[in-house]
Amino acid sequence: ILEKRIAESEKETIFVGKDANRLPNTSCFITPGWKGETQVMVMDLAGFAVSAGSACSSGKVKASRVLQAMGYDETQAASALRVSLGPTTTETEVLRFAEAWGRENEKRRSRQR
């Protein structure tokens, strides 16, 4: 449901490992033109804890080497956001996040016009 809502908000978003076997509670996505570190700050102010890049790059400001090794360029890797859901995360919370992310993305896009 998270990835579906994000994709509806931003058609250019790329979901890392979309067709691979992966954990169902974690999503990493790249939104061209929106740095991951900026998304982390914006979503933190909205009340959500997320990370930029891959788990292996957690806490680092530069682009994820893991994402680059997976074939994403440096700009794409620097625009990645990772969202992990816990065992007690509710559907309502996921929808709240997706709505907040969509609002912030729309603000970003309107500033770029």
Active site residues per annotation = 56
At residue 38, what is the residue type? T
Burial category of 8 from C-beta neighbours within 10 Å (exposed 0-12, middle 13-18, buried 19 and up): exposed
Going by C-alpha positions, the residue among 66, 77, 63, 68 that lies closest to residue 31 is: 77
* Residues 29 and 10: beta-carbon distance below 8 Å: no
